[in-house]
Structure 1
Amino acid sequence: MFDVEWGSVSLVDAERRLLANALLDFSNERFVLLSESCIPIYNFPTVYKYLIRSEYSFVESYDEPTRYGRGRYNRKMLPEIHLYQWRKGSQWFEIQRDLAVYVVSDTKYYTIFKKYCRPACYPDEHYIPTYLNMFHGSLNSNRSVTWVDWSAGGPHPATYSGVNITEDFIQSIRNNGTQCSYNSEMTSRCYLFARKFAPSALVPLLSLTSTVMEF
């Protein structure tokens, strides 16, 4: 057993161990990291087809020119990692097999992050986004397939409980007006999963499985 501590490199360690174990099954081609507060907003065949047909992975990797992005960069990472290469993104990613192999096999840049990315630098928000940006950006869509509501502001997204769960709410996540690129074409289906949902949302969500979710 390994202890995992929020905000520390142990989260990246856990991600890499999960990927390494999943890679042992050679039939696995796509790898999705979700939390216990995430839910699918489409059924499995829809999610599977969307991911397996995608030419790109789905990892947020963007330049954040504030203290929450560039401000977390440590100049001691030079000359291997420059500020212009520094990226931020959500921990909840989806990557194809080749990229998973690259992430698991990397030792050089992981070691730099382990040494120099400490609070208020959070490795789980910067390591994979920066590493992919530096070497494999052409294989990444630079977006997430997990919807999250940050509209209230603050360090944590909105959490939805059982009273929030309705058919209209799920449809509003699916059809929220967002347009995104999918295999070089524009689509309105940008999200496959959503967060954050409290345990009390489980029963209401199960009541929608046959109608809205089509499980």
Structure 2
Amino acid sequence: MMRSRNARDEFDHISKDLSIGLMRSVCFLIVFVIGILIGLLSSSHIDTYYSPNQPSTNPNSACTSTSSCVKKDCMSIESFRFPTNVSHGMSDDELLWRASLVPENVHYPFHRMPKIAFLFLTRGPLPFLPLWERFFDAQDVIKYSIYIHTNPASNLRVEKSSVFYNRQIPSQAAEWGTLSLVDAERRLLGNALLDFSNERFVLLSESCIPIYNFPTIYDYLVKSKYSFLDSYEDPSRYGQGRYNRHMKPYIRPRDWRKGSQWFEMKRALAIKVVADTKYYNLFKRYCTHDCYPDEHYMPTFVHMFHEQLNDDRTVTYVDWSVGGPHPVSFGAKDITESHIKSLRNNGTSCSYNKRPSRICYLFARKFEASALKPLLELASKVLEY
């Protein structure tokens, strides 16, 4: 009996060891299988981002569903000097701070072709889009850039083939006669300054047209030593009468200037304008109600501190001959060869690089939508584009 009991105990012990070993093997097998599954899932996840045959969601990669992924170097000099996307999430303060940065080294580490930045401040669609597209047609794209500030809810209806496509900057509502117009102008300058090749900056409205062809305008602006920002003394109630004595001592009555908001300026002056906070805040606080800051802020600021950079006139013709708060509008009946030619100097004399010039105005406003058809008919003959 004793031997039988010992044999049974030994058998039970062996069975127990076998059971434990089997359980360990099963557990190991389960863990092994789970590891394989995790590995396969991880590989699939990695392929989603890095497979050359799959589109990428990585913001540092440029990929499409029909092309292989090309990793973008966001720190490259090319990305820094030539931003291709005008859409961003910067606030105005962040934008203007970044736009005011100036390299200490004046020698560019790349070939820099000076560009003209065309800044369109509009209330909605561009009625003269076909005319502007003819103006830019066949011109060297490294000589110009386009920026559009409009009502955020506005649909510009621009075809993908147009040079205006995807050129709308992050915009805010701008109201006539208020500081919001100055904000929009500085916002346009700030966005354009991010492109280090932009050298000249011209502000335009949806009712503006170019009255010379692109080569003429490009040479005129790029070769100018000065900016063209209207700035003059106006002793009437529409000028000096808008001055607020609370601006003293920083802005004195003799400093107060008036001018058309449709400016053209060099890069050096544009940087000074977007970098200003002190005088902008003075206008924000004291130039209210019937002050019209868009007619006084830049003319006064530039006159006080940067007059040596400015020619004190505009290159955009506007007819104020009838008086009132708005200029003369030109409709279809006004579009004749002689009329368009007369806008180029309007019988006035002007200087260019301190010498007399027969070319005074490069652009003109204010044109009604009905003028588009006759302008297109005259463009090749009169405007030469």
TM-score norm. by structure 2 comes to 0.55
User: 5 Å matches for 1:70-149?
Assistant: 70-149=240-319
Q: What letter is aligned with 1:191? A: Y
The aligned counterpart of 2:222 is 52
Q: Following TM superposition, where does structure 1 have runs of at least 4 consecutive aligned residues deviating by more than 6 angstroms?
A: none
Using CA pairs under 8 Å that are at least 6 residues apart, name the structure with larger relative contact order, 1 or 2: 1
- The CA distance in 2 between the partners of 1:156 and 1:107, in whole Å, is 30
- The CA distance in 1 between the partners of 2:297 and 2:330, in whole Å, is 29
- The CA distance in 2 between the partners of 1:115 and 1:45, in whole Å, is 42
The aligned counterpart of 1:22 is 192
Q: What letter is aligned with 1:86? A: W
| Largest Rg, 1 or 2 | 2
- The CA distance in 1 between the partners of 2:342 and 2:354, in whole Å, is 25
The aligned counterpart of 1:196 is 366
Local SS of the residue matching 1:33: strand
For the 8 Å contact 2:345–2:360, the answer to whether it is kept is no
Q: 1:37 aligns with which of 207, 221, 236?
A: 207
Deviation, structure 1 residue 34: 0.9
Q: What letter is aligned with 1:78? A: K
1:44-76 per-residue CA deviation (whole Å, 9 max, x = no partner) reads: 110111001111100011110011111101011
Cα RMSD, aligned residues only: 0.9
The aligned counterpart of 1:11 is 181
Q: What letter is aligned with 2:364? A: A
For the 8 Å contact 1:177–1:188, the answer to whether it is kept is no
Q: What letter is aligned with 2:347? A: G
Q: What letter is aligned with 1:124? A: D
- The CA distance in 2 between the partners of 1:150 and 1:69, in whole Å, is 15
For the 8 Å contact 2:330–2:367, the answer to whether it is kept is yes
Deviation, structure 1 residue 175: 4.7
For the 8 Å contact 1:178–1:188, the answer to whether it is kept is no
Q: List alignment gaps of at least 5 residues for structure 1.
A: none
- The CA distance in 2 between the partners of 1:113 and 1:37, in whole Å, is 27
For the 8 Å contact 2:345–2:361, the answer to whether it is kept is no
* Stretch moving more, 97-106 or 202-211: 202-211
Deviation, structure 1 residue 163: 1.4
For the 8 Å contact 2:335–2:374, the answer to whether it is kept is yes
* Stretch moving more, 63-72 or 1-10: 1-10
The aligned counterpart of 2:340 is 170
Number of aligned positions between the proteins: 215
- The CA distance in 1 between the partners of 2:177 and 2:345, in whole Å, is 33
- The CA distance in 2 between the partners of 1:174 and 1:73, in whole Å, is 33
The aligned counterpart of 2:234 is 64
Q: List alignment gaps of at least 5 residues for structure 2.
A: 1-170
Deviation, structure 1 residue 3: 1.8
The aligned counterpart of 2:349 is 179
- The CA distance in 1 between the partners of 2:273 and 2:344, in whole Å, is 30
The aligned counterpart of 2:30 is none
